[in-house]
Amino acid sequence: MRNLFDYFKNIREKNNFFVWISLVALVPLFFISYTSSKISEESLKKEVINNLSTVADEKVSLISLFLENCRKNIELFSHSPTLSDFIDASETKDHPNDKNSLEENNHYQRLSSYLSNVRDRQKYNDIMIVSNAGNVLFSLKNEKLIGRSVKKFAPDSTQLPIVFNNAITLLDTQVSDFEKTPSYTTPHFYMATPIFWEGSMKGALIFSIGNEEVSSIINSRIGLGDTGEVLIGKFDQGRIIPQINLRHISVEDFLSQSQNFDPRFLEAFKQAAVMASKGEGLMKDYRKHEVISAWQYLPAFGWGVLVKIDSNEAFHPISILKRNILLLCFSVLLLVFFAAYFVSKRFQKAEDTLTRMFADLKLARDQAMEADRTKSLFLANMSHELRTPLNAIIGYSEMLQEEAEEEGLPHFVEDLSRINGSGKHLLSLINDILDLSKIESGKMEIYLEEIDVKEMIDNVTSIIRPLIDSGSNKLKIDYQLKEPLWRTDVTKIRQCLLNLLSNANKFTHDGMIKLKIEQIEKDGLKFIQFDVIDTGIGMTTEQLSRLFQAFSQADASTTRKYGGTGLGLLITKNFCQLMGGEITVKSIPDKGTTFSMTIPLHIPEIEGSKIESIQHPLKSNSVNAIKLLIIDSEIKTHKNITENMKNGEFITRHAYNGLDGLALCKEETPDLIVLGVMMPKMDGWAVLEKLKEDPKLKDIKVVMTSLSSDDDIGMAMGATEVLSNPIQPVELIEKLKGHALGNSPKILIVEDDNATRDLIVRSLKKGNFQAMEAIDGQEAIEKISTVVPSLILLDLMMPKMDGFEVLNRLRANKDWCHIPVIIITAKDLTEDDRNRLESATAIFSKGKYHHRDLLEIVRKEIVSHSENANEDSEGDKNAKNIVS
Amino acid sequence: MENSKYLYVKVALFLVVIGSLFLFFKSKNEQHYKPIRVGILHAQTGTMAISEKSVIDATLMAIDELNSKGGILNRKIEPIVVDSRSDWNYASKMAEKLINEDKVSAVFGCWTSACRKTIKPVFEKYNHLLFYPVQYEGLESSPNIVYLGASPNQQIIPAVKWSFDHLGKKFFLVGSDYIFPRTANELIKKQIQELGGEIVGEEYIALGDSEVSFIVDKIKRVKPDVILNTINGDSNIHFFKGLKEANIDSSKIPVMSFSIAEDELRTLDMKNMAGHYAAWNYFQSVNTPHNLEFVKVFKERFGPDRVVDDPMEAAYSAVHIWAQSVRDAKTDLVGEVLKMLNKQSFNAPGGIISIDPENQHTWKIVRIGKIRSDEPQFDIVWSSEKPIRPNPFPMYKTNSQWESFLNSYYSMYDNNWSKPTSKEEDHIGVAS
């Protein structure tokens, strides 16, 4: 079966139309031919059998009719007065043989001539009259029998005594079996009937009848063709005993061969003669010829009748029919083959063309895909190659700017800020172009995550506010959402909002910019609508129509005046559409413009977009926050510190005297304590002393603020640092952060671009970190194997071994797998890339971050990581302490 | 690749559809048509119920045999059993109902000659078909009745001859006063006269009459060699009891009965019966494998204490003879079935039987049995070996002579086929 299947598959693959067309045509053809020949064979067989059965019926009824005729004759004669007169006359005589009596002679002569007449007409062998006692009174054939008793006929005839006895016992006409006696050349049978006259039985009339009549009935072979015959006989002890001569061999030969007969033949005859049942079937006859036969019982003699004809003859028409069908089949076969050949040739031609076209198309498609891939690769490389140097430019200029400020070189500050601004502009241009190309090639993906809209708006506001301030504009936020949570692509929404807001700011001076956020319903669907309303210069209808085209602003002069890439709105529009939303604009010249961005509440999930939320570098993490306890009697100190903290960096607890502070300290076990000296109830020194006495609290770092510069006492008493009042809150916080980390942790920077690497190193050093450097993945792995860093900053695109591989190796090694890794890359990450970077802590895009943000994350990571490590190795704590 | 997979599915589906269509049409040709209905018209209540219920059993058994082999012409046979209430006028009404309302294809029924003679005109009127399973007095031949029981030359005449040869030449005839015993005795007297025997007495008692002493007294007085008994029903109990009480047993004067079979024997006292004779075509004790199987199947079905006898075997065979005719005619239409009937032979439990084409009676083997002393069974003492041709009109009178004989009794019985009983208003059917 399997092989056959494979074979057909093979044919199919070769597109062998010829075979298929042939099969489709030939299978029904063969089916029909086979069925029709079977049907006609069956019907012919039935016809033959019917014919044979009819012959058998006819023979049986002819024999019955013949016997019935004989019976009527004998019964008719038995009532003849001549007979009774003769019997009466014979009985009165003592010696029936004595024919001297004239009267009796007369009777005898008259009877004799009468019965001779009957016998000759009916072709009987003999007519006998037997007295009640069984004495033969008259015999037409053999006068010697007269006077003999039929009961003593045994050697000459066994049937005569039986038939006589039956007739006078049953008082009815009786028929004997056939028998062969010396008197006659052919077998014969007797028919006996009682002779009644005037109500009394006088004797019996017996006919001896030859088998000629039965023979002629049986041997009349009408409808039996050249080989058919009727076999009639008894079935005795497993043998067929024919009663009439056979057509093909003599009865003696038949009997001598009867041991070798086909059992089916014997069984058929047995059924007819012994079971009196009808039937028909195929068998081998006594000549070993295959015959078809029908059989039944012959009640008149209690024999079987079997009519048969050679199968060859009977089924001759079938073989002719079969031959004709075969011939027809063969001719149709040839015809079909020819037709199939020509048709398949045409089909083949068409298919070849199709195949060629298909191959061409495939090639074209492959080429197009290749080109597309090349383009994507080009873009990716471009983005990397452009962003990396830009990153260095922006980073250095920022840092130099800070240093210049610190060293009081204002004219440098201005220049550096220009460099920085130009770099950022160039970067945003590049980013916009890359975004646009991604959108156009359909590669822009959506990452849905659950966000707090309020938080996002706050974030956007904090970013945009300096810009707005610089444009002498006022920003008003009208937040009307009831449900703060929204599943959306926060990056894109933020980018859109920043675009719109900066756009609004660009064309507005001394005006008002309003951001309105509300939930609306349109066509039964829920949307979140962001309206950015300004009171700027506005646009004419003609300007509006060109609004969302690439590199177009209201007009060329606008570009010159206001700058900008002209891509922002186009990208915004595309992002909106990508998220299933839209952006509309209404504007009145000189009055202002309103951009309405409508994004569905349930953003349709685009296939392939990863729903899992991804870590975002700026997302606050309260778990990582530093627990800070401030103990100081001066409320101003508390306020100073808390006001300068960023959200989520610290969790603060406040105590206003030493006792409360100590109690709170025991309760909460803070990471850091800012401790004032002058306090009621218990002063700072006492608190410090108590803290250092308590083994649970003695490791908590304490920063003391004191009016006097008695640093040494504080340090001697176990304070970590002593600052003198008035404290600089920013400085204090930086210090606090540094203290929270412990002793300057080692950070490994893996980056192939020297400028970028140096920039990061310098930035890290500022933040009290030790920097290790590696110029590619391979070197990084080597460095890690000697010194395990607390954190790794990893570039992705590097020679020898790239960032992905480094990450894989780290995660595969059980000693390194917990090291936090922050990715810093210029690569545009695909969905796949993000999946591969799942284990990275954060991802920074080159040029898009401020180095302070980076420091922030690094710090947080190290704090949370060291906490985790402590939890992990509770048992090792003591040992570590001893070493330290 | 995907395409080629679907192609195979399509090709397979196509083949399945073609195949199922083929099978559907094929099976449609062999569809089972509605069943063939046949009527069973026997007494389930009344005097004859005791005998006829067994005949119903045998008939139903034959029908079930056929149905278990798929019926005839792929049609099941549905028997409709109707109670004749031992009342032949009612039976006549029921016969009409079976023919006209139930549209049966044949009726198997009747026990008494009176019943048969009463419903015969119904079957002739509608050219319908009745299978009659009981031996009877003969002198009848209807193209619409198939006679499965013995005609006189298949029971009475051979029995008389055998008695004459083996038991003695002085005969005493007793019988119930009905058409069958009267006719039977008419035949017997004729035969004995022709055989040169002597009839020393002939007595009749009414049905159910227990007063047999006058007969017994006469028997004691005339001392016959043989008693030929055509008494039917309960009177037999009293008759054999009377004989026993008069100290006449089978060794002294044997009784040859024509209406006592195995089923009746069960109700009689075995010690009164042992050694007496009966003439039938079939005895349960027929010792052929075919008959042993038949008896076994019957007992498995109806219980080991049940027996089979001649009318039951005839009724059983009647169903098969009819079924063969239907098969040959390829229809259950009565006209067609009738044409096929006279060609039928059947290997019955008692031996091969054949329907005679001349008179629609049955070729049967004749047997004489002697009652065993220990069980209600017979030892077969004589058999004709070969089936005997039925001759309903014995040769020593012509048909017209026989008819005038019958008519004289018909008028004597007040235009009835049995003598109206003095005790009851009802016509009561009596065995044959």
| Nearest-angstrom CA–CA distance, A740 and A856 | 12
How crowded is residue A632: how many other Cβ atoms within 10 Å of its Cβ?
24
Q: Which residue of B has its CA nearest to A11?
A: B4
Is there a contact between A118 and A124 (Cβ–Cβ < 8 Å)? yes
First vs last Cα of chain A: how many Å apart? 78
B71 or A756: whose pLDDT is higher?
B71
Q: What integer pLDDT is reported at residue A616 of this predicted model?
A: 36
Is there a contact between A180 and A211 (Cβ–Cβ < 8 Å)? no
Q: What integer pLDDT is reported at residue A611 of this predicted model?
A: 35
Task: Tell me the nearest-neighbour CA distance from B157 into chain A, angstroms.
Answer: 6
Beta-bridged to residue A297, according to DSSP, are: A304
Both tokens assigned to B302: 């109806």
Q: Which residue of A has its CA nearest to B164?
A: A169
Q: What integer pLDDT is reported at residue A347 of this predicted model?
A: 79
Q: Which residue of B has its CA nearest to A78?
A: B395
Q: CB distance A276–B346 less than 8 Å?
A: yes
Q: CB distance A169–B354 less than 8 Å?
A: no
- Smallest Cα–Cα separation from A63: which of A309, A278, A244, A205? A244
Pairing of strands A592-600, A525-534: antiparallel
Non-local CB neighbours of A278 within 8 Å, separated by 6+ positions: A53, A272, A294, A295, A296, A297, B324, B328
- Alpha carbon distances (Å) from A812 to A580, A795, A808, A815: 41, 19, 6, 9
Helices (H) and strands (E) in chain A, counts: 27, 27
Confidence of residue A581 (pLDDT cuts 50, 70, 90): confident
pLDDT above 60 (res A607): no
Beta-bridged to residue A774, according to DSSP, are: A750
* A698 DSSP 8-state letter: T
Can you tell me the mean pLDDT for A306-321?
87
One-letter amino acid identity for A843? Answer: I
Is there a contact between A188 and A208 (Cβ–Cβ < 8 Å)? yes
pLDDT above 50 (res A206): yes
| Helix B156-166 with B179-195: angle, nearest 10 deg | 40
Nearest by CB to A276, from B8, B347, B386: name it: B347
Confidence of residue A881 (pLDDT cuts 50, 70, 90): very low
Identify the sign of the CA torsion A703, A705, A706, A707.
Answer: positive
Asked if B193 is an interface residue toward chain A (Cβ–Cβ < 8 A), one would say yes
pLDDT above 50 (res A880): no
Average pLDDT, chain A: 79
ipTM of the complex: 0.83
Maximum alpha-carbon separation in chain B:
112
Is there a contact between A190 and A270 (Cβ–Cβ < 8 Å)? no
pLDDT above 60 (res A291): yes
A162-166, A198-202, A302-306, A844-848: least confidently modelled range: A844-848
Burial state string for B247-265 with b = 16 or more CB within 10 A and e = fewer than 16: ebbbeebbbbbbbbbbbbb
Q: What integer pLDDT is reported at residue A619 of this predicted model?
A: 34
Q: Is A607 exposed, middle or buried (0-12, 13-18, 19+ CB in 10 A)?
A: exposed
Q: CB distance B395–A196 less than 8 Å?
A: yes
Q: Write phi, then psi, for A57 (nearest 5 degrees).
A: -55, -45
| Nearest-angstrom CA–CA distance, A144 and A25 | 86
B390 or A184: whose pLDDT is higher?
B390
Cα A471 to the center of its chain, rounded Å? 63
- Alpha carbon distances (Å) from B404 to A331, A810, B359, B411: 80, 131, 20, 11
Helix (H) or strand (E) holding B227: strand B226-230
pLDDT above 70 (res A177): yes
Is there a contact between A112 and A105 (Cβ–Cβ < 8 Å)? no
Per the omega criterion (within 30 degrees of 0), is the bond before B387 cis?
no
3-state secondary structure of B47: coil
Q: For residue B195, which residues of chain A lie inside 8 Å, CB to CB?
A: 201
Is there a contact between B421 and B207 (Cβ–Cβ < 8 Å)? yes
Reading chain B (432 residues) residue by residue, the pLDDT tens digits are: 445 567 778 888 888 888 888 887 766 555 557 899 999 999 998 878 878 999 999 999 999 999 999 899 989 999 999 999 988 889 999 999 999 999 999 999 998 888 898 999 999 999 999 999 999 888 888 999 999 999 988 999 999 989 998 999 999 999 988 788 888 898 899 888 878 889 999 999 887 788 889 999 999 999 999 999 998 878 888 999 999 999 998 999 999 999 899 988 888 888 889 999 999 999 999 999 999 999 999 999 999 999 999 999 999 999 999 999 999 999 999 999 999 998 899 999 999 999 998 899 999 999 999 999 888 899 999 998 889 999 898 877 777 887 888 888 788 777 777 666 543 333 333 444
Helix (H) or strand (E) holding A488: strand A485-488
Q: Write phi, then psi, for A594 (nearest 5 degrees).
A: -125, 115
Is there a contact between A494 and A460 (Cβ–Cβ < 8 Å)? yes
Q: For residue B190, which residues of chain A lie inside 8 Å, CB to CB?
A: 199
pLDDT above 80 (res A787): no
3-state secondary structure of A532: strand
How do residues A26-51 score in pLDDT, each as one tens digit?
A: 788 888 888 888 888 888 888 889 99
- Smallest Cα–Cα separation from A514: which of A486, A480, A482, A490? A480
Q: What integer pLDDT is reported at residue B369 of this predicted model?
A: 95
Q: What integer pLDDT is reported at residue A646 of this predicted model?
A: 62
Asked if B345 is an interface residue toward chain A (Cβ–Cβ < 8 A), one would say yes
pLDDT above 80 (res A121): yes
Give the DSSP letter string of A54-107: HHHHHHHHHHHHHHHHHHHHHHHHHT-HHHHHHHHHHHHSS-TT----HHHHHH
CA angle B170, B174, B176 (to 5 degrees): 165
Helix (H) or strand (E) holding A428: helix A410-440
Task: Tell me the nearest-neighbour CA distance from A52 into chain B, angstroms.
Answer: 14
Residue of B389, B398, B401 to mutate for A, most A C-beta atoms under 10 A: B389
Task: Tell me the nearest-neighbour CA distance from A777 into chain B, angstroms.
Answer: 45
CA atoms in the 13 A half-sphere facing the CB of B109: 38
Q: CB distance A278–B324 less than 8 Å?
A: yes
Q: What integer pLDDT is reported at residue B427 of this predicted model?
A: 36
Rg of chain B taking only CA atoms, in angstroms: 25
Q: CB distance A276–B8 less than 8 Å?
A: no
Task: Tell me the nearest-neighbour CA distance from A20 into chain B, angstroms.
Answer: 11
How do residues A707-720 score in pLDDT, each as one tens digit?
A: 555 556 666 666 77
| Nearest-angstrom CA–CA distance, A332 and A734 | 100
Can you tell me the mean pLDDT for A250-258?
87
- Alpha carbon distances (Å) from A570 to A260, A435, A713: 108, 10, 65
Q: What integer pLDDT is reported at residue A789 of this predicted model?
A: 83
Is there a contact between A592 and A534 (Cβ–Cβ < 8 Å)? yes
- Alpha carbon distances (Å) from A533 to A83, A467, A587: 150, 16, 10
Both tokens assigned to A685: 């020194």
Is there a contact between A530 and A515 (Cβ–Cβ < 8 Å)? yes
Task: Tell me the nearest-neighbour CA distance from B236 into chain A, angstroms.
Answer: 27
| Nearest-angstrom CA–CA distance, A189 and A178 | 5
Q: Write phi, then psi, for A676 (nearest 5 degrees).
A: -80, 165
| Nearest-angstrom CA–CA distance, B83 and B303 | 23
Q: CB distance B347–A274 less than 8 Å?
A: yes
CA atoms in the 13 A half-sphere facing the CB of B399: 5
Helix (H) or strand (E) holding B170: strand B170-176
| Nearest-angstrom CA–CA distance, A610 and A494 | 19
| Nearest-angstrom CA–CA distance, A772 and A792 | 9
CA atoms in the 13 A half-sphere facing the CB of A169: 20
A347-351, A556-560, B348-352: least confidently modelled range: A556-560
* A144 DSSP 8-state letter: G
Is there a contact between A677 and A684 (Cβ–Cβ < 8 Å)? yes
A157-161, A222-226, A277-281, A708-712: least confidently modelled range: A708-712
Q: Ramachandran region of residue A810, left (φ > 0), alpha (ψ -120 to 50) or beta? A: alpha
Pairing of strands A650-655, A200-210: unpaired
How do residues A789-807 score in pLDDT, each as one tens digit?
A: 888 888 888 878 888 888 8
One-letter amino acid identity for B71? Answer: G
Non-local CB neighbours of B10 within 8 Å, separated by 6+ positions: none
| Nearest-angstrom CA–CA distance, A798 and A778 | 10
Query: What percent of chain A stands above pLDDT 70?
Result: 83
pLDDT above 50 (res A873): no
Q: Tally the residues of chain A.
A: 884
How do residues A465-513 score in pLDDT, each as one tens digit?
A: 888 888 788 888 888 888 778 888 888 888 888 888 888 888 888 888 8
One-letter amino acid identity for A147? Answer: G
3-state secondary structure of A304: strand
pLDDT above 50 (res A777): yes
Helix (H) or strand (E) holding A294: strand A290-298
Is there a contact between B171 and B163 (Cβ–Cβ < 8 Å)? yes
CA angle A427, A431, A434 (to 5 degrees): 140
| Nearest-angstrom CA–CA distance, A517 and A476 | 11
Helix (H) or strand (E) holding B238: helix B235-245
| Nearest-angstrom CA–CA distance, B280 and B148 | 12
- Alpha carbon distances (Å) from A342 to A335, A337, A347, A352, A359: 11, 9, 9, 15, 26
Residue of A14, A21, A169, A234 to mutate for B, most B C-beta atoms under 10 A: A169
